[in-house]
Each structure stands twice: as structure tokens, then as C-alpha cells.
Amino acid sequence: MDKRVRLGKTDLYVNPIGLGTNAVGGHNIYPDLKEETGKDVVREALESGINFLDTAFIYGPERSEILIGEVLKEKGLRQDTIIATKGAHKFVDGKIVMDNSPAFLKAAVDDSLKRLQTDYIDLFYIHFPDTDTPKDEAVGALKELKDQGKIRAIGVSNFSIEQLKEANKDGYVDVLQSEYNLFKREAEKELLPYTAKSNISFVPYFPLASGLLGGKYTKDTTFNDGRAKSPLFTGETFIKNLEKVEQVREIAQAKGAEVAHVVLAWYLSRESIDALIPGAKQPDQVRRNLKTLDIQLSNEEIDKIDRIFQ
């Protein structure tokens, strides 16, 4: 299904279900990734009507952007695709540090353009704040690049409300990407009200809470990665979280849908959330994510899900 929506105040029109691509070439995030499978995921997205791809320098590093650039060139679909990428990470003596300086961001955009094999980026985010650069100066550098036609929209990611307000002093910020899901709702206190008031589009990451909101886990599921130490996935909290997910499953089953589809549809009912970027490691996951667009939630169902996770 191809239903385009406007991303905030930008001139970017996207399918509300995009594709997060940290599993496309993101060898530093997921071990044992096959790059050809990652390219198949991107191909499937493009062939299925997804036109919003979210990547970053640090996915790989560099490999995700490179693979996406290769697929877009092969498919000849650059004009039809909205590419979002991010920069801020740099390596100093083998360690990663954040840099938001105007000189670094301008160089980061140029480097991303080469890897993506394109002459413009639709949406460029400052991936993480650094500790030194005034945020309005950092965004001012991106505004220069926007005026030059190198980028079409300006985003910031992982910014606190204070950093976001400073970054948006001149009204140049178009999109905020931040962690938000039904188990992690801090963004509702200040970030979401501010983005709604400022016509900034809010793109949540980890929308399925590392799979917990996907409805696939039971109390017997064990984890051998970072989730094994996460409070969400351990002890009584894990059991209670699964009980909440089961209440969503009742809504999903009545619609002949999966839990994940209902959860994603709930986010799209929130003010200032125009689009989502669930990830995928296999092409069939891309097709499943798109089923979200078939879900119509009533006001009663929206309120019920809200109450379950309060």
C-alpha cells in the first residue's frame, strides 16, 4: 500500500511505514549479517512501496549507506526515495567521540553523499549532541547546506528538550528522532508537546522495544544479548510487560492482525508522529511491517492501549 504523508513542515512526502536500516550492513550492531540479504531487504522495501529509508554513518560504520547507494543506483529509484542519514560520530585514537561542529557536519554530509552515490540527502540528522558546540550553530551549518541544495531537511536525534529548543532557536529544525515506545514514554512529557507546537515531525526509534512489543516472546523466552540485563526483560517486570502485550493481542486478534501492527498503528495516532521506521533483517519482515497501514484503531482502542501502558 502506498499512502504518502507530509513529514512535518518539510516538502518530503513519505509512506508512513519506512525502513530503519541498522541491520543493512550494520556489522557493528548485529554480528553475522549477510550484506546481500541486507540489500534484498532494501529492494523489497522499494518494490513494496516504501520510499523512506533511514540510515547513518555509524551503521557499519559506513556500510549501510554504501549498500543503500548501490541498491538505489541498481534500481534507478533515487528520485522516488526519501533518504535520511545521520552524522556526529568520529574516531579519535580508536575511540568514538561526538562532533557537532559546523566543519565536521559539512564534511560528514559530503562523505555521506559519496557513499550514497547521490548529490543530495533528503533528511540529514545530527545523530547525537556533543558537549561543546552550540546547537543553533550546528543547525546553522545544516541550514547553509540546505540553502546549497545538498540536503532538503534538517533533523536532530537524541537531543534533550533543552538542546532541541536551542537547536530550533531560528526555527530550522524539521524532524526530531528520539527513543519512544509504549514502555518508554518520557518523550510525552516535553518532547512530543514541543514538536507538535513547533510543527516538527517526531520519528520514534525502538518503536517495538527491542521486540518486546512484537508479541513474539513468552515467559520462557531467554536472551543472550543486551536484553538479558535490561530491566524490561528481567524478573517480575518482564512477566508484567508480557501481560500488557497480551492485552494488545486481544485487540489485534479481533482485527486479524499481529500485535506489532496494532502497536505501530497506535504511534501513528499520536500528534506529530507522521512516519515510523521499523527495522527488518529479512525481506518478509518488510512486507509484514506494511500491514500496519491496514489497521484502523477506534478512539476507544487508542485510549485502551494508552491506559494499559500508563
* pLDDT tens-digit series, residues 202-226: 999 999 999 999 999 999 999 988 8
Q: How many angstroms separate the Cα of 15 from the Cα of each of 74, 80, 168?
A: 21, 11, 26
Distance from C-alpha of 95 to C-alpha of 130, rounded to nearest angstrom: 14
Q: What percent of the chain has pLDDT over 90?
A: 97
* Residue 2: band (very low, low, confident or very high) from pLDDT cuts 50, 70, 90: low
pLDDT digits (tens, 9 = 90+) for 33-69: 999 999 999 999 999 999 999 999 999 999 999 999 9
Mean pLDDT across the stretch 284-305? 97
Q: Is 122 helix (H, G, I), strand (E, B) or coil?
A: strand
pLDDT digits (tens, 9 = 90+) for 120-155: 999 999 999 999 999 999 999 999 999 999 999 999
Pairing of strands 201-205, 175-179: parallel
According to the model, what pLDDT value does residue 13 have? 98
pLDDT digits (tens, 9 = 90+) for 80-129: 999 999 999 999 999 999 999 999 999 999 999 999 999 999 999 999 99
Mean pLDDT across the stretch 229-250? 96
Q: Which of 13, 59, 125, 180 is catalytic?
A: 59
According to the model, what pLDDT value does residue 225 have? 85
Please determine, for residue 3, whether its predicted confidence score (pLDDT) is greater than 90: no
- Is CATH 3.20.20.100 what the domain over 5-212+272-295 is classified as, yes or no? yes
Q: How many angstroms separate the Cα of 78 from the Cα of each of 23, 31, 74?
A: 21, 29, 10
Concerning whether 125 is annotated as a catalytic residue, the answer is no
